[in-house]
């Protein structure tokens, strides 16, 4: 068996183990309208309900009880109502967060930043920069006609290493060199890996 086949087999085994884990049914007893009621759900639903109730600032028991009470009033199956409500709330959260997961939206935020900022992709191409970066570049070049596309940015840490080791959404500081024409300046930038994972673009904010 070659390495790729072995890796795929391991991935399949991990997926099977995860599926068994999340579909394992668990029983909980709740007090609803003064009466004790048993609810049986897959483990993954209880985990999701923990997160949703925490976000709502409620105890899980109270959160689930509200769903069951509403289902009883509408003559809807309580377990089905819990599952459906859980999925509905999670889908709403996905929709709310979707714009933040768009690289173009995240990179676009650097335009409003007060510090010189730039965005690089994995091929070391300059994807975006803000007006402050252009002014910084012109000070490096000593020329009011310098343009961002002509700048050469070099990281003290290999770019491949940054993309590999720094998780999306995390930051680190890294020395950089900016060259424009025959002039060069060394400085430090705070590097942010743009979500979602795996990051395909990093944003750098020049610190000095």
Query: Residue 109's pLDDT is what?
Result: 76
Share of the chain above pLDDT 90, in %: 53
Higher pLDDT, 151 or 178: 178
Say which residue the tokens 């395909």 belong to.
200
d(CA 42, CA 3): 35
* CATH fold group of domain 17-99: Ribbon-helix-helix fold (1.10.3990)
pLDDT confidence band for 124 (50 / 70 / 90) = confident
pTM summary value? 0.55
User: Where exactly does CATH 3.30.450.20 map onto the chain?
Assistant: 103-206
Query: Residue 166's pLDDT is what?
Result: 92
**CA atoms within 13 Å, Cβ hemisphere of 185:** 15
Architecture in CATH of 103-206: 2-Layer Sandwich (3.30)
d(CA 139, CA 159): 25
């Amino acid at each position: 068996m070659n390495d790729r086949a072995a890796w795929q087999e391991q991935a399949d085994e991990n997926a099977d183990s995860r599926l068994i884990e999340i579909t394992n049914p668990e029983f909980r007893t709740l007090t609803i309208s003064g009466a004790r009621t048993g609810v049986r759900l897959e483990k993954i639903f209880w985990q999701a309900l923990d997160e949703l109730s925490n976000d709502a600032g409620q105890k899980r028991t109270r959160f689930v009880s509200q769903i069951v009470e509403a289902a009883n009033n509408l003559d809807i199956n309580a377990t089905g109502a819990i599952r459906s409500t859980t999925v509905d709330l999670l889908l709403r959260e996905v929709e709310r967060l979707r714009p933040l997961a768009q690289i173009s939206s995240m990179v676009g935020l650097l335009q409003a930043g007060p510090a010189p900022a730039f965005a690089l992709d994995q091929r070391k191409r300059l994807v975006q920069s803000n007006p402050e970066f252009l002014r910084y570049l012109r000070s490096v070049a000593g020329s009011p006609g310098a343009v961002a596309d002509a700048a050469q940015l070099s990281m003290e840490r290999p770019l491949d290493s940054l993309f590999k080791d720094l998780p999306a959404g995390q930051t680190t500081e890294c020395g950089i060199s900016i060259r424009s024409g025959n002039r060069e300046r060394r400085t430090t930038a705070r590097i942010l890996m743009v979500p979602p994972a795996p990051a395909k673009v990093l944003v750098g904010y020049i610190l000095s």
